[in-house]
């Protein structure tokens, strides 16, 4: 992907950017450091990217923070990630609130520690009226599980007679997702060179532009972010129609 000049005041930003933050562990291993330090550095990058998204005019930012598959990692790494998340929610939410960030969470909260669930609920309550940008953190999140849960919810409503089969369409499905009320992502960025969605927003990203960058997440910079937006604008979004 070619470097881009600053996008601020030159290109209309995508409304919704979703990012698969990949490469923390490899970043640490290449430096002979514990993987936990890679995750800590990745959290610092996330903090900077939120500020960059605000500065670039992005309205919605979704970060893939912890996937449902991440529960299969070694216990010590999960504990380190939970500790880092706990610290982040305690130390950053007040500042994000002052900045005007609305914070929401998607994912299976039943698998998260009770105190983290409480911190997440507090963040959502505190920031619910903010309008500068909506930050969605995907925690213990898997897109397949989300789709299954949405389908089950619709089926239960149909069994109760609240809706008919004719009511079931893409719009109802979208409104049954955890992301209801959030526009589908225009741009999905994945760092570290991997080129797959890894069970992230598979329904919502049906027509998103996918940009894969080789940079490991802890090294992801403002320049990388701007280059991804530049690449987004180079593409012709046809939504299944023919090109002009």
pLDDT tops 60 at residue 4: no
Domains and CATH numbers, the chain: 16-141+186-233 (3.40.1180.10)
Map residue 228 onto helix, strand or coil: helix
Q: Are 120 and 109 in contact (CB under 8 A)?
A: yes
pLDDT per position as a tens digit, 121-163: 999 999 999 999 999 999 999 999 999 999 999 999 999 999 9
Residue 122 to residue 138: CA distance in whole angstroms: 16
Supply the pLDDT for residue 243.
57
Active site residues per annotation: 22, 70
pLDDT tops 90 at residue 236: no
Beta 101-106 vs 60-67: how paired, if at all?
Answer: unpaired
pLDDT per position as a tens digit, 170-227: 999 999 999 999 999 999 999 999 999 999 999 999 999 999 999 999 999 999 999 9
Lowest-pLDDT range of 89-98, 169-178, 235-244? 235-244
Residue 219 to residue 137: CA distance in whole angstroms: 20
Residue 91 to residue 176: CA distance in whole angstroms: 32
Supply the pLDDT for residue 11.
75
Long-range contacts, stretch 151-160, CB < 8 angstroms, 24+ apart: 151/176
Q: How does DSSP assign 134-197, residue by residue?
A: EEEEEEEE-HHHHHHHHHHHHHHHHHTTSS-GGG-SHHHHHHTSTTTTSPPPSEEEE-TT--S-
pTM, two decimals, is 0.92
């Amino acid at each position: 992907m070619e470097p881009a000049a600053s996008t601020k005041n030159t290109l209309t930003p995508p409304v919704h950017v979703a990012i698969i933050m990949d490469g923390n562990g490899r970043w640490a291993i290449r430096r002979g450091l514990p993987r936990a330090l890679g995750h800590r550095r990745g959290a610092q990058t996330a903090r900077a990217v939120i500020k960059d998204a605000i500065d670039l005019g992005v309205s919605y930012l979704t970060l893939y923070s912890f996937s449902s598959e991440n529960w299969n990692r070694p216990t010590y790494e999960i504990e380190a990630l939970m500790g880092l998340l706990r610290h982040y929610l305690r130390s950053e939410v007040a500042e994000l609130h002052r900045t005007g960030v609305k914070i929401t969470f998607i994912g299976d909260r039943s698998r998260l520690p009770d105190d983290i669930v409480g911190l997440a609920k507090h963040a959502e309550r505190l920031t619910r009226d903010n309008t500068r940008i909506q930050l969605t953190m995907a925690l213990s999140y898997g897109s397949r599980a989300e789709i299954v849960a949405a389908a089950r919810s619709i089926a239960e409503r149909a069994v109760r007679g609240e809706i008919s089969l004719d009511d079931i369409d893409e719009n109802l499905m979208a409104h049954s997702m955890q992301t209801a009320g959030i526009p589908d992502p225009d741009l999905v960025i994945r760092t570290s060179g991997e080129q797959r969605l890894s069970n992230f927003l598979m329904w919502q990203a049906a027509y998103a532009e996918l940009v894969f960058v080789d940079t490991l997440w802890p090294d992801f910079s403002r320049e990388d972010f701007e280059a991804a937006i530049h690449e987004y604008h180079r593409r012709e979004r046809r939504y299944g129609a023919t090109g002009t």
